Chain A
Amino acid sequence: MATVTLSSIAKSFGPTRVLGGVDLDIADGEFLTLVGPSGCGKSTLIRIIAGLEHQDGGAVTIGGQPVDHLRPHERRVAMVFQSYALYPHMSVRQNIALPLTMSRLKLWQRLPLLRALSGQRRAVMRGIEADVAAAAAQLQLDHLLDRKPAQLSGGQRQRVALGRAMVRHPDVFLMDEPLSNLDAKLRVHMRTELAELHKRLGATFIYVTHDQVEAMTMSDRVAMMDSGTILQLGTPSQLYEKPGSLKVAQFIGSPAINLLPASVGAGGRLELFGRPMSLTVQQPQGQAMTLGVRSEALSLVQGEPAGAGRAWFSARLRRKENLGSEYILHFDLAGRDLPGVTMRTSPAQAASVAEAAEVTLGFDEAACHLFAADGERIEPRGPGVASASIVPLRA
């Protein structure tokens, strides 16, 4: 079991800077997810931790020991690849046994002819067999041990890859998008399996994905990366409820957060579509801001859009999406050249809106996220601060 510490890891491929000084402290037994858009350097970072790639600057420490001079297999890490990377000509049994034969048999005991001379070899092989069987039983692979990888389904291959990682009892599991080749249903299933495996093994997991749902559902903490730096590090709910920047807000959450243009009016009071809100900020008047509202924070406003601390705007229903237990409603912003908004709501609410109907959507101002023009999160001074001077808003 081990902590993993990265200090100012930098990496360039030729002139392109892929990682720009990444610092990360991962606790013993933690499930940390690296998430971010394609090409942001997640794989490169995890490969540096594994020792498959060398960083240009910075240091990697595993379990308090610097490992930069160690070769991959000496770092006590195991890696699961997106492509599974099973040895194609070996059976499942041989695939899972391979890391053990490598570590428990000496070189000459592995050579085709010489190995017959070794007396201990048989005992060692029996031990390996037992460990392989144990790992296979944990992953329900018992009946597949004699197949070749080509004869397995995607999910089974993934489990073999996990088995091959597990048998060595590594301190750290590195997983690079292990589920992205699976179909949606299997992915959901494997998510649970991985989370349970993590709990059972108690090892440190570093998990790479560009699927924010995986990041949110499995992790203790999530590190959101973009262009080779970590934008934000926190628990899934921290990232969801308090995104530190526009990019994080856009990436985390499904459907994606709704973004509305806002601006700073007189006295630092925020205006949405020209209507003053109860929020005030310190930015100078006239500054453009972006206001983010999660789809579940939106609601239909019946009758007069009223109430302190609530903002509203009008929209036209474009499409309903039925998810069974809930609906996602897609709206166009009437008469404005903006991308539409999405609202998550109950089937009953959704039924009350007719196709192409003009409606008023409202949200609690306390539930919105504010971002400056450079994408930084801005904490508004809430309605509470200046509430005395606020009269209920009217159209």
Chain B
Amino acid sequence: MRDMTDDIAISLKAISKSYGGGVDAVSNLDLDIREGEFFSLLGPSGCGKTTTLRMIAGFEEPTAGRIGLGGRDVTWAPPHKRDMGLVFQNDALFPHRTVHQNVAFGLRMRRLPAAEIAARVAAALAQVQLTGFEARHPGQLSGGQQQRVALARAIVIRPRVLLCDEPLGALDRKLRASMQFELKELQRELGVTLIYVTHDQEEALTMSDRIAVMNGGRIEQVAAPDTIYNRPATRFVADFIGEATLLSGAVVRGAEGVHLALSGGLRLPLPGSMAPMAGAERTVAIRPERITFSGDGAGLPGHIVDANFLGTATLYKTRLDNGALALVRLPAASGEARPGPGDRVALSIPPDAIVPVASGPAADGDPA
């Protein structure tokens, strides 16, 4: 493994930000973002994603903590000395400039020769599929087109770090998917470190090398997408990313292994790895696609409350006999008779699908 300190593009150390009024928008944040990484900040609205990004860009000063950029302390450096491209949540294009002038701005600030500016602007506009729009003003573009101009304006300067605050928010599904792909390609091509803010978990999961899940100004978990999805560290992560069934009870070690003693006398067999937790109250998370209805009646008894057809699968909302809700996702298969609302079922949950989750933010659970 290479020396870690060379590898780090941006490091946030114990960063806090308070806007006054007592509540911290961001509190005690530690993050190390690696060179050339596609790193996502994921979390619900108001959790401090934009604030974090603005501190990295230099538009907000942290109330406490330090920010390092490639080993240099930039906590107090002005924005124009940080060499970061920034795509704002609401594009922030210059309304009095044409598309061409907007994209050329950063190159002009760098005093590049006119011919090079023209060539690079044309290339950047082609990358975001806006060739032919050069002479328009931002007011004459759709919301999605404006966002793409903002993206072109940021990538054309080939920054060391590209900061994107929900840059694809205003795009329709199809264009969004194609832009996601383009952005990922572009990031790989340029080798740029990209910090991507989104509240769309699917987007974060498909695009990122690593994801930091934030909640209420804190980091819940930093890990690769599959880890975030399959081994959520906290209750919040399990719930926020995809769907999950959360069950709580005491971990009991018995003759036939460990199980979770749920209320109503229900018992959920646990993986052997949870044996050391015996005696503690724990919450576990199970992804809906890992649960099936057992044919032989073995498993957790309950009944179906609701069935939602999703096209490729059906999502069943079931209520266990102890009153807890559980989600079951069965892939679509033709011919088979499907249970419907009101039917009694037994939920079969394989022990290896069960993930213990902490109730609050945990320490950095990144295994990498």
Q: Do A and B come from one complex?
A: no
Report which B residues bind A (CB closer than 8 A). none
